[in-house]
Structure 1
Amino acid sequence: MIQTLIVFTAMALGQTSALKCPVMGSAVAPSSPVVEFNGSRFQFCCAGCDSNFAKSPGAFLKTQRGAKNTVGVFLFDPVSRLRLDVDKSKATADFESIRYPFQTDENRKAFLANPKKYATIPSKEALYCPVGKEAVPSYSKASDYVDHEGVRWYMCCAGCGGPFEKDPKKYLFAGTEKNIQVAKAIKHDALHHPAPSDVNVVTKVKFGRYEAELRVPEEGLFAQEEVDVEFRVVDTSAKDPVEEGFKGVGAIEATAVMTMPSMAGMPEAKPEVHREGVPGDYGVVVYFPHGGDYKIALTLNIPGQGKHDIAFLVDVKDERPASLAKPQPFQLKVVDWPVHAMAGQPSNLKLQVVDTKTGKVQSAFDVAHEKQFHLLLASKDLNWFLHEHPEMAKDGTWSIPITFPAGGDYWVYGDVAPSGKGSRVLIAKVSVHGDKPTWDTKLNLSTTAVDGGLKGELVTRDIQVGRKTTLMVKLTDEKTGQAAGDTVKWLGAAGHMMIFHQDGLTVVHSHPAEDAENEAQVKQGMVHFTGRFPKPGLYKVYAQFDWRGAVRTLGFAIEVK
């Protein structure tokens, strides 16, 4: 009798029924809005129910549990804790008004044996990955979760949950606690319409009795453009005798340094600052190699008041359409390349970086990752890649012998930093005679690659066009399957990543952050890069690592919509 009762209870617990509206208990409408709460997704019977539910989700769920209605779908397998859509699950079970999906029948059995163990949710949560060190927009964008000391932490991507669960103290550094909160409902609009910028823009700064304001053009700032941006400095204790507002502060001696906080390894630029015709008005000539966040730090030497350090933070859009693009301040010029260069034979490639305005050859460069010139070569289809470092002669001509593997056109990218002007990637082309490529010239999607026994898996999540994102390369030894945590720095970085759009004209060169947290993850075979994808399309991604005495190059291809 007891055995029969246990079997009956398990069947009642596991059976599923049609989903109901958590507010009205009615059938869910096919085109219903969506609200997420406590790791589950809810839909509704009619307009207005989503807003009512979002105001007090706990109260509505308590009512529906009493009515024994199933009103929500959990977004994870509660046993493995991995993100799982119910339509991709092997099995499901309903418990206390929530439907749970499972990767395997074994996970479902484990859940039914002790549902409260897996269904109980901590009172607090953090939509923040302490390993990837980034916010997770919603439950549906998380890869998995880990419970620690009464808080459910949602991870940004695969591979983060394991290290955090093993040693949470390593990742819970000062400041992460600010992400802990009581669970709140997330409405559909918040899921699919993110904020227009992930940069905390600062264009007005007060210091003492003074105020400085950066006058960003109404159309915004764009990558790969040199622009003269005005800023005004006023004395808030004095009125302007002619115009409305405060009196402009003239005769300031100013210097500027521009950096990109999300790409700490990029050389700083030292743009020129000049005075405009109106007292208090100044201009700074800046160039932005990529879209993203930039810090413009100014040192203002005010007559009789000494030096003051201030900083503006700006959000730079990705480059304009080609038809509207402005001329580049520098160009990469191929000055010597054999007309009949043959594949399989070395030919000397000579390049110059030329100032577009003056026509002069640039011969002074800042060092970026131990080199003044990073030469990136790629076939037109982007499926062949080479990273080299040419030598410069006194006249500013860079040269290096190159052996191309097949006939065809090749992209020539010069990643350089003209002194004080900041980093940029300049583009040219060369052609080679010879047999057609032996490799597949199609850009086939792939997130795994192997080179010299080093296997890499590119892990991405929720890539949004024009937004900063984290890309993790999970490294393992192909033979043993163990994490490859024994890579060493190459050119001053734990890794180098080159991101090419399929048109070959958009390139991003990225490196991992150089801090204790990232270095600890590298030792576990997880290398995090910051990337940005300016436009939709296919992208070829190359990641390079120094592993066991050689540089390994891993090529991936992904699509960004």
Structure 2
Amino acid sequence: MNTATRVGAFGAGLAIVFAAALGAGRLVGPFDTATAPAAHADMAGDHGTDDHGSEHGSSTTAVTPVGLSATDRGYRLVPDATTVAPTTNARVTFRILGPDGQPVTHFTTAHEKQLHLIVVRRDLSGFQHVHPTMAADGTWSVTVDLSRPGQWRLLADFDPAGVTPGLVLGTDLAVPGRYAPVALPEPAPTTSVGDFTLRTVGNLSPGRSQPVAFTIARTAGGPLALEPYLGAGGHLVVLREGDLAYAHAHASTDPTPVAGGAAALGFQVEAPGPGRYRMFLDFKVAGAVHTAAFTLDAAGATP
């Protein structure tokens, strides 16, 4: 298939998935995991139930940004160190303290993990989505790449046992050295990662759940089979430039085959406010997880 034909096929696949995601947003309303396990979204502070969220409709209810504070409802994210030497194998350790001041050791599994940790530099480069392990005393640990100096943000997304909705707590780590900020790329509908080319269609609107679709294809052509990742067809983290307000979603549609061997995914995304956002899409092919990044604006003035 030539390039023009492949792009046309991508567009057709995106249109189908975009329409499906839009329909889910308008028609599903509160999500029932017992009847529709493939369609769910978790966005900006709406963490509830053991599947980590509920589907949003198209309302414009104000959304409280999450991930901006290390404390919420008496829970605290406490790193063992706030400065880490630059290295590709930085060991990061932290605890979640409960309202009683003691480390929390019981969590509800959400999307196959008890805690999801996002590690990203404040210029929105160096994104990593990892899953630490917890020791018996409640200390979480993980090895990440902090080789580039600057301010890094840790965002811990978790559900303490018996607590709904769940929480997203954030704190900074300083990596000393010469800081060379990376400019955020301008919005563009296509990007590539590894051997894959991706295209997106959709808009972000503050406080409104909006459909966003992606087509994923092998750059050289040929069939592509997406594998489930974290219990869904794909995982999307959305971070706002500046304050790094956080939102995340899981695919609200199953992977849809597209002509030329590509696959398409749909999401319902609710931006917590106006501004420019960086979207990080995790998808899995042949046992390997890949991350593609897009820049997208939410209507309104920059916060």
* TM-score exceeds 0.5: yes
Q: Distance in 2 between matches of 1:424 and 1:158?
A: 37
Give the counterpart of 2:49 among 261, 268, 281: 268
Alignment-derived partner of residue 92 in structure 2? 349
Say whether the 8 Å CA contact 1:289–1:424 is kept in structure 2.
no
| 1:473 and 2:214 correspond | yes
Percent identity for Structure 1 against Structure 2: 21
The residue number in structure 2 matching 1:112 is none
- The residue correspondences of 1:305-316 to structure 2 (distance < 5 A) are none
Q: Are 1:503 and 2:242 matched, yes or no? A: yes
SS of 2:226 mapped into structure 1: coil
Deviation, 1:513, is 2.8
The count of corresponding residues between Structure 1 and Structure 2 is 268
Q: Which residue of 1 aligns with 2:7?
A: none
Q: 1:427 aligns with which of 166, 170, 174?
A: 170
Partner of 1:526: 264
Change (3 A) 1:372 1:289: same
Runs (5+) with no aligned partner, structure 1 = 1-156, 165-170, 177-196, 203-260, 271-287, 294-313
SS in 2 for 1:546: strand
Q: Which letter does structure 1 place at the counterpart of 2:104? A: Q
Alpha carbons of structure 1 residues 161 and 386: separation in structure 2 relative to 1, 3 Å: closer
Are 1:401 and 2:143 an aligned pair?
yes
Contact 1:291–1:466 (Cα < 8 Å) also in 2:
no
The structure carrying a bigger helix percent of its residues is 1
Counterpart in 1 of 2:291? 553
TM-score (norm: length of structure 2): 0.75
**1:52-80 residue CA offsets vs partner (Å, 9 max, x unmatched):** xxxxxxxxxxxxxxxxxxxxxxxxxxxxx
Q: 1:389 to 1:500 in 2, by over 3 A?
A: same
Cα separation, 1, equivalents of 2:146 and 2:65: 32
Counterpart mapping for 1:54-453 below 5 A: 158-160=11-13, 262-263=40-41, 268=49, 292=56, 317-319=62-64, 328-337=72-81, 339=83, 341-355=84-98, 357-422=99-164, 423-437=166-180, 440-453=182-195
Quote the offset at 1:478 in angstroms: 0.9
Bigger Cα displacement from structure 2, 402-411 vs 330-339: 330-339
CA distance in 2, matches of 1:320, 1:534: 5
Q: Secondary structure at the match of 1:159?
A: helix
Q: Secondary structure at the match of 1:317?
A: coil
Rounded Cα–Cα distance in structure 2 between residues aligned with 1:506 and 1:389: 20
- CA distance in 2: counterparts of 1:543 and 1:440, whole angstroms: 20
Structure-2 separation of matches of 1:434 and 1:345: 14
Structure 2: stretches of 5+ with no match in the other structure: 1-9, 31-38
**TM-score normalised to structure 1 length:** 0.42
d(CA) in 2 for partners of 1:539, 1:320: 13
With over 3 angstroms needed to count, the CA separation of the structure-2 counterparts of 1:317 and 1:346, relative to structure 1, is: same
One-letter code aligned to 1:354: L
Higher relative contact order (CA 8 A, sep 6+): 2
Q: Is the 8 A contact 2:82 2:173 kept in 1?
A: no
Displacement of 1:485 after TM fit? 3.7
State the secondary structure of the residue aligned to 1:491.
coil
Instruction: Kindly provide the amino acid, as one letter, of the partner of residue 218 in structure 2.
Output: D
